[in-house]
């Protein structure tokens, strides 16, 4: 697999690695695509709401380590509002790109940072636990990468319809039966959405 020099550099000499003692917030997320995990630790200045320190532990592949290293670099010294705007595309671009089947590693790193920030905000009463809505589903679908091209399924217009009613999710996907990644995408959608207690059933439909 062809990695950029930047990816190799952050993989061989990752920044901000290690468990943090007494963090103000933490989050561990796993990637349904491969089972890899990453944990992010945050220290936040209470007055300025600035990330004064950030570190991570990785239980995953080379690009999992490299993207976690980069995303923690990008987040350090930023306010929470600024850090919330860091996307997986930012991390990937800062690493001079990733192979398509490894783009989800960047999504995992960005997602874990965002969850750690959200956990901090909830713990400090800066925000409420968000309700589960159709928007939550769409946000989760934006994290699912179609491995063949390394783009998310929403940007690729593969999602035709999303419905949510009384705990039941209905999703229509525009992926034909001959597409070898169809099952993989459906499995990932289920794994992303099943973790929400509000979700009782997930139905995914494809064209004939």
33 binds ligand FES (CB under 6 A): yes
Distance CA 52, CA 31 (A): 27
- Which 3 state secondary structure label does DSSP give 64? helix
Dist. CA 133–CA 14, nearest whole Å:
37
Order of all β-strands in the sheet with 25-30 = 25-30, 37-45, 50-59
- Using CB under 6 A as the binding rule, whether residue 32 contacts ligand FES is answered as no
Q: Which stretch binds ligand FES (CB under 6 A): 13-21, 41-49, 59-67, 83-91?
A: 59-67
Q: Shortest gap between Cβ of 42 and ligand FES (angstroms)?
A: 20
Q: Which residues pair with 40 in a beta bridge?
A: 27, 56
Q: Judged by CB under 6 A, which stretch of 56-64, 112-120, 140-148, 171-179 contacts ligand FES?
A: 56-64
Angle at 17 between CA 13 and CA 23, to 5 degrees: 165
Please give the Cα distance from 208 to 206 (Å, whole number).
6
Verify whether residue 105 is a known catalytic residue: yes
| Chain residue whose CB lies nearest ligand FES | 34
Residue 103 beta carbon to ligand FES: minimum distance, rounded to whole angstroms? 9
Supply the minimum distance, in Å, between the C-beta of residue 35 and ligand FES.
Answer: 7
Three-class SS state of 45? strand
Count of residues in the chain: 208
Site for ligand FES in 125-164 (CB under 6 A): none
- State the nearest-atom distance from the C-beta of 36 to ligand FES, in Å: 4
Q: Pick from 6, 9, 17, 34 the residue near ligand FES by CB under 6 A.
A: 34
Q: Which residues contact 35 (CB under 8 A, 6 or more apart)?
A: none
The binding site for ligand FES (CB under 6 A) comprises 31, 33-34, 36, 60-61, 63-64, 102, 104-105, 108
Could you give the residue numbers annotated as active site? 34, 105
């Amino acid at each position: 697999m062809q990695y950029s020099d930047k990816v190799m550099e952050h993989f061989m000499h990752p920044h901000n690695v290690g468990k943090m003692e007494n963090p103000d917030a933490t989050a561990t997320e796993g990637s349904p695509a491969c089972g890899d995990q990453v944990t992010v630790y945050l220290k936040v200045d209470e007055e300025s709401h600035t990330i004064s320190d950030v570190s991570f532990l990785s239980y995953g592949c080379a690009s999992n380590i490299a993207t976690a290293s980069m995303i923690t670099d990008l987040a350090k010294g930023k306010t929470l509002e600024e850090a919330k705007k860091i996307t997986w595309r930012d991390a990937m671009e800062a690493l001079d790109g990733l192979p398509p089947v490894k783009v989800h590693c960047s999504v995992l790193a960005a997602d874990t940072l965002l969850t750690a920030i959200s956990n901090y905000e909830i713990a400090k009463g800066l925000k409420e636990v968000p309700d589960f809505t159709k928007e939550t589903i769409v946000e989760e679908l934006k994290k699912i990468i179609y491995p063949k091209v390394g783009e998310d399924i929403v940007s690729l217009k593969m999602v035709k319809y999303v419905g949510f009613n009384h705990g039941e999710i209905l999703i229509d996907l525009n992926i034909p039966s001959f597409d070898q990644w169809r099952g993989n995408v459906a499995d990932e959608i289920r794994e992303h959405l099943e973790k929400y207690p509000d979700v009782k059933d997930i139905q995914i439909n494809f064209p004939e």
